[in-house]
Structure 1
């Protein structure tokens, strides 16, 4: 499958379906058909509208859509998204609230690189902006990055995170969501050795596979069941001629999306069928619940082949982080070197992607960290998405994370040291 023709074939299939949807919607909208009392014409227009929108969204990077927020002064303040660090494979963005005094909390939100854009954390960012200066890792779509930019695997990812932490300075707080949790832990440990002054004050790991073998799931079973040769042969393709990254080896976003959809095919099929009937009855809108969810869910990005394969092999198969054997740029990273960064883990009791036990394993790896700087939370009834963007995050987890940050900020530590003295 590692040919441009395969990649272009998938893009051709997507493009054709988008065209078919547009054609059906346009054809059924002819004024001449208005006098024909046949409900199938309305259904054809509804089918075309839903199909066109769905296949079009697959190649569109969603907008953050964060224009303004209401601050403590009761006024609406514009939110400007500024690029703080610019790199070939990912930028560091700052959500700068105009006209507001700088907040003492400085939070780096590490977004996952697992098929979707960083905008998947839009609601998480919105919930944190009122109380903090929020920075987010904005990973780029591999198909848009020329081969001349070089490779990008999990070691490069870790080095990127170290650069982002250095850019924010020591009085910052890092929150890693899902996939980047083990690499963020490794980046913090590496900074503890190379540049201790650049370490963040706190590190919060949410639903990440620190030790995938601690509690097996379908994801971990797949990682053990399939060989690396099978993955490389069936999942990796070359970017076609349509994009700047032509020739780059990637795990295509469209292929990932097909896997996502197949896992819950019946539920997705019902959702689209119901939406078509709503459109035909005039009950749907541009930003209804269906479109809000699927505009984000269907927007997928390619991952570099080396990042995908090294993640499966080194994080899931060899469990290098869990064994404290992770090597970055020829140097073995010792997680035990973390001695002054407060670490908190958050897990969902019903998480079927990163099950309870996988993330809290990070605390056992931090052998050099005193117990007073360790914390964990297991959210009852919460699934994977809920622990960082759902009701559980808003009502329970977010307040706990902010409290943890405040307890371990510079001011709190100075007060504690004064009291101890």
Structure 2
């Protein structure tokens, strides 16, 4: 996709010097998050996998970097800053503006969950709720910018923001010089623009093979993919990776991505769910859907990265606890450790006991039972029994189903989508 041999990096709006200056500027006020190898994920995927834990930032996301780099370059006459965001950008701007004594206003859609509003307010920002969509909130923020003389802090399409986000790669490549591939989530494109700037310059300075930069987008929101490849896939849907659910990528970022990024891959919702679950189970770390996108790409496209030394940025950890619980339970269901079986019974005394006896023999724990006598196409003397149960794995579940069928029961699994 990129044409590195013909690239004149001097024409790009962000240089490696900009990123290095940003890192020096912000280093004492952000967490220098660790980059650790994951031996289990390496075995699982066939790549050597390193993880950059940006979910350990104070606001649990890398967005602090670009926000702080921008705030530190405001002129002395700045009246305050304003941003439009319902997510991690809001937290980053609010936290560092408060720390620096800069008045901050954050415009959020009226549909923003109360917990996110409260978190932003807790950092000292003035929250304005306006409109039902991000686009409406963004437009209102630009109006307030003009009316009140505020400085707008863009979530991605700003050279200062891009340089700040690129500091993630400065740290990764300092910690693990052997990295030959970086997998980076793409929403508006700020993070991957900064990362690719660093990767290309580092490759040139070392005189070795280029460090490949691969972007990741959710299949439901392939906005940057569309922009680069000239496609017109729809950008809509309720993705787990709401942090990268951007309908229109930036103008500045699109130019950098076109010049420096090697490839963009798309990942399914199922891959995103699996990645969030695996990171919690294997690495004992909580990552939001967007933050897990890099691992989702590795899981869904293993042949693309097999044998490579891969760096993955866990760019955020702000996930609703109820949503996280749903993701984990769905993953248990897909792995066979949780299941719901529908069993046809005769409506007579002892019928439930007969089924329960088989569950006991197979050492399967019953979690929940539900009878259905009315809304069924079974004969009047028949009923269906839904049994939610806990097994060791898929093989254990199959043994249970075989045992039920051997005893004459009609049984089917209630499948998960």
Which one scores higher on RCO, CA 8 angstroms, separation ≥ 6?
A: 1
Shorter-chain TM-score bucket reads under 0.3
TM-score, scaled to structure 1: 0.25
Which has the higher Rg, Structure 1 or Structure 2?
2
TM-score, scaled to structure 2: 0.25
